[in-house]
Structure 1
Amino acid sequence: MRAVVQRVMRASVTIEGERTASIGRGYLILLGVGASDTRAEADKLWGKLRGLRINEDADGKTNLSLADVDGEVLVVSQFTLYANCRRGRRPSFTDAAAPQLARELYEYFVELVRADVGHVATGTFAAMMQVELVNDGPFTILLDTDDL
């Protein structure tokens, strides 16, 4: 699994002109599911992210976790995180999970987040979405379960 995690002041998802999800201070997580991923990767990814200290304390140091700042989370499925651009000019997405597996693991990941976070919003799986955010910092990190 891969995740682009952005620390945000606020973020939202709009589908067909209607805002369908929004959060205040917290994390926007763009989540990609790989073809060989299982629930173990989802557990590993959320386990790392849940405790990651990427929020600033009173001294401006990144010492606080999401729970420490009572943060919110917006999770958006993003299969394009598995784009392979090594050959040619058109990306290949063969490393991304098939839609059925991707949906299952995306929903499982969201369940894990909801078990720990008070306000969790989501995009709509496989929908065309417009994602808006106000990045805090900016602070953006990439997590890949192959590297954790």
Structure 2
Amino acid sequence: MKRKSFREAECPVARTLDAIGDWWSLLIVRDAFDGLRRFGEFQQNLGIAKGMLSTRLRDLVEAGVLASAPASDGSAYSEYVLTAKGRDLFLVIVALRQWGEDHLFRKGEGRSELVDIETERPVSRLALYGTDGRQLAWQDTRVIAARDAASRPRKSS
């Protein structure tokens, strides 16, 4: 069965998942944030089949999340580096990490930790804020369909 494309969907979540929504792609992006750059490093760290990794890397390059660049050590290899678009996924990776910490680990179970490099202390929890500074939960928001958003008057802040 061929996968349905959401590349032209009105929903930003659907379009995002179309570009980076499978677990291998997100794990490759996570590893790129952790400093991995070469095909062999990704393959060894993830234990992913070479063909699958080639496909995911190609798709991430086509989506503009990664770029292929000459090896930083001057060797004949190429490396994969996060683009600005890829670096903008950092908060997505942090949100997934924090959700996993909250819901997928037993109390006291060992896990990796994301820390501020300056203080070596854990990073703060992510939160969503309104333009007025109020912290928002899901029930404090709603989605306005694209067909309605264009004609909607904007409130000034």
Superposition TM-score tier, normalisation by shorter sequence: under 0.3
More strand by share: 1
Higher relative contact order structure (alpha carbons within 8 Å, sequence separation ≥ 6)? 1
- The structure with the largest helix share of the pair is 2
TM-score by length of 2: 0.24
Larger radius of gyration: 2
